Amino acid sequence: MKFGKEYASQMVHEWQEAYMDYNYLKSLLMEILNFKKKNVPLPEVAATPRGSLKRRLSMYRAFNGLQIRYNSFKGKNNHEDEVIVVNSVQQEGSERHYETTFLVSCEEGGESELIFFRTLDDEFNKVLTFYKKKVGEVKVEADELSKQMDALIALRIKVDKISVGAQSVQVIDPFSNDDNVLSPASVDPMHFSSPGRPHMEAIQEVEMNNEEILEEEAIQEVEMTSEEILKEEATIGKRDTTKMSPGNFRPAPLEVLDYVKINIAPETPISTLRCIMTSKSNLSFSKEELRKVEEQMKKAFVEFYQKLRLLKRYSSLNVLAFSKIMKKYDKISSRKASKSYLCVIEKSYLRSSDEVSKLMERVEATFIKHFVDGNRKKGMKYLRPQAQRETHRVTFLLGLFSGCSLALVAAIAVSIRAGNLLENENRGQYMENVFPLYSLFGFVVLHMVMYGANIYYWRRFRVNYPFIFGFKQGTELGYRQVLLLASGLSLLALAAALYHLDMDTDPKTQSFQTVTELTPLALVIVLFLITFFPLNIIYRSSRFFFIRCVWRCLLAPLYKVTLPDFFLADQLTSQVQAIRSLEFYVCYYGWGNFRERSNTCQESKIYPILYIFLAIIPFWSRFIQCLRRLFEEKDLMQGFNSLKYLSTIVALVMRTLYDQKRGTFWRVMAASTSGITTVANTYWDLVMDWGLLQRNSKNPWLRDKLLVPYKIVYFVAIVLNIILRLVWMQLVLDFQELPFLHRRAFIAIVACLEILRRGMWNFFRLENEHLNNVGNYRASKSVPLPFNYDEDKSM
């Protein structure tokens, strides 16, 4: 693989604008090469016999190599230092930056070389400025984490009820620049609350309760610093230790808890309601509270460590890119300027600073000691999770299930044609009672196929969907895994449908076979059992992530709204017919006569009410989510978004009432409300969710940045989205009455079109979210910290 492609693949995509523009600098080098070809005359070569050409070329190459070695030996400093001079310049009100002076005359080097070095300086200064800014941010975040660790250790002592004696204390700062242990006399308990102290001066070397101290009075405790851990791995594995007797032990000062308030997000609806009613944020010193704080601090350390890793990779990759581009320049220009420029880079902050590496070492040491009981292997598994590996078994099973599903589709088509089932007298009975049972699986499989296609294109266009959705690294599903699940479910559903494709009744009982009629119910039960199966098989982490998001959607006002929550709620709004199919399952097998394929659902008074109520649950969930975000984020656009979903609820109710009652009044109400919500939803899709239709954009009527290189794709998506949105009007216009198509089949087709529209919406919605992250250089999650410091009290 060429370095340009490898360089692009290794980028932190959210920071792509801050990387050195390797391709542009490479294009400038091509201009230099073209200039040299035009202005340097080629030597005249005498005609040679055809057979001697190979020998003459090899002789020329050998002589050229000797000449290069001779020149390099003859004058090492005569030409190299005369090509460029790189100076560090600092102007008033600005940071220090680097400027290169090109010493070769313009006639000899060409203006393109001047442009090359000017651009090279701009890129280097850009990379250096961004790196300094990010290092400053992580240093501030390290100080904040150290303050949180002060409070966590004090809370551990308080919860474990360790008595504070008048003994000396040893304090170590894992984020400081050195690992010197402070002397007992130099530590004042009140010093931890002074405003001018460093934030990282209370990470204790030992936390033991009184019982452990009595048991281990004669035992020397072994502690390893982060440098010793690294030395152990790099050399022969011997551990250097620092010794500390229990007599020198003293816990962290508890005064830090006097000006700290808890900031733990409620985990259950009950705890949320309790927080709303009590409005208390003081510490209760309970073990459950300590457990939640530790889990939150774990996540904060893991995310902070990932940010440090990204920053270190950013530095290394840019240095490598500068090295590659300068070597290309040397090769094209036949000069030696790379050594001078790379020497400046090596001495710059980008290369010489070791603050990120030291922070990584100290984070590793702190996390291993305080959160995994010194188990380095377990700690590094948290900090550096392994990416999920693709296996050939998944690809094989995907091909097998897909092929079997296509064969079953063909078998069903042949059975319908051979048995002339479309003209059977029991066709209407089958479509009204059995077809809705299997259409549920069709909706689910189609949605999974669209999601798998979305993942494929997100990966192709480098949309960081695991980060956007908040998947734990190494647990996100690829498109093959999603398509494997979809093909497996389709195989089961199609096999059951083929088995159930029987319209002949028993002549004695005038009923169908019980086992055959219970097949769809058994399949639904199997589907739910797999979804809620607790063992670690069939992608348990993804299943539980889905269940957790569904639960948070159903109880939307009681949980803080995150992107996975409202994204899943949007998916459920496109599965209204699937939700109604589940209601039909309950009615058909609970109160209907499934052996005779008959039901009285429409005659019930409760069923039509539930038919409306269940359909509006996803829209109501989105409405409540928007209201909560409006109150929390003070974003007025969330208020308009909530009105959009409210209008959709009204339109859905009116359309359903018109379908049940008919009449001119209900038709006018359904048409007007559906028209309003169709216009509102279409505008919101294109402008707000996709970020398109920007009049002053560099790409007319699209947006400034596009991931798909073909603009026609966006215009086709806009047109298709408008057309598929108009399907909302199908019940109002009575377009479903087609003589060759049953009403149930037409409703299923309309539902499938909505799922297809949602799948297309998903790609552009996440593309817009990804570009927003890129615009804000947001490549890591912001984890809320468990403690809030009362600065007035701490002063």
Confidence of residue 243 (pLDDT cuts 50, 70, 90): very low
Q: Which of 381, 31, 303 is nearest to 144 (CA)?
A: 303
Confidence of residue 513 (pLDDT cuts 50, 70, 90): confident
CA-CA distance, 603 to 608, in Å (whole number)?
9
* Chain Cα centroid distance, residue 264: 23
CA-CA distance, 307 to 304, in Å (whole number)?
5
Model confidence over 419-431: pLDDT tens digits? 888 887 788 888 8
**Residue 644 scores a pLDDT above 90:** yes
pLDDT reported for residue 665: 85
Confidence of residue 270 (pLDDT cuts 50, 70, 90): low
**Residue 46 scores a pLDDT above 50:** no
Q: Which of 227, 285, 223 is nearest to 248 (CA)?
A: 223
**Residue 281 scores a pLDDT above 90:** no
| Tokens of residue 136, six digits | 């400053």
**Residue 168 scores a pLDDT above 70:** no
CA-CA distance, 662 to 18, in Å (whole number)?
61
Listed in sequence order, the residues at least 6 apart from 453 whose beta carbon sits closer than 8 Å to its beta carbon are 479, 759
Most confident of 43-57, 213-227, 233-247: 43-57
Percent of the chain beyond pLDDT 90?
Answer: 40
CA-CA distance, 505 to 358, in Å (whole number)?
78
β-sheet bridge partners, residue 598: 593
Task: Give SS3 for 539.
Answer: coil
Range of weakest confidence among 204-218, 441-455, 481-495: 204-218
Range of weakest confidence among 280-284, 313-317, 382-386, 475-479: 280-284
Domain boundaries, the chain: 392-773
| Tokens of residue 329, six digits | 């320049």
CA-CA distance, 596 to 519, in Å (whole number)?
15
Q: How many helices (H) and strands (E) does the chain have?
A: 30, 8
What DSSP element (H or E) covers 223? strand 221-223
Mean pLDDT rounded to a whole number for the chain: 79
Query: What predicted TM-score, i.e. pTM, was given to this entire model?
Result: 0.79
Range of weakest confidence among 8-17, 74-83, 600-609, 641-650: 74-83
Q: Which of 794, 787, 783 is nearest to 155 (CA)?
A: 787
CA-CA distance, 320 to 216, in Å (whole number)?
52
Q: What share of the chain is helix, strand, coil (3-state, %, to 5)?
A: 70, 5, 30
**Residue 498 scores a pLDDT above 60:** yes
Distance of CA 624 to CAs 442, 580, 614, Å? 29, 21, 16
**Residue 333 scores a pLDDT above 90:** no
CA-CA distance, 497 to 520, in Å (whole number)?
8
**Residue 189 scores a pLDDT above 60:** no
pLDDT reported for residue 389: 73
| Tokens of residue 240, six digits | 């250097």
**Residue 545 scores a pLDDT above 50:** yes
Longest dimension (CA), the chain: 110
β-sheet bridge partners, residue 68: none
Distance of CA 335 to CAs 71, 85, 328, 331, 397, Å? 12, 14, 10, 7, 57
Task: Give SS3 for 778.
Answer: coil
Its sign, for the CA torsion 679, 683, 685, 686, is: positive
Distance of CA 1 to CAs 5, 7, 9, 52, 611, Å? 7, 10, 11, 36, 57
Q: Which of 571, 564, 566, 563 is nearest to 451 (CA)?
A: 571
| Tokens of residue 158, six digits | 């308080």
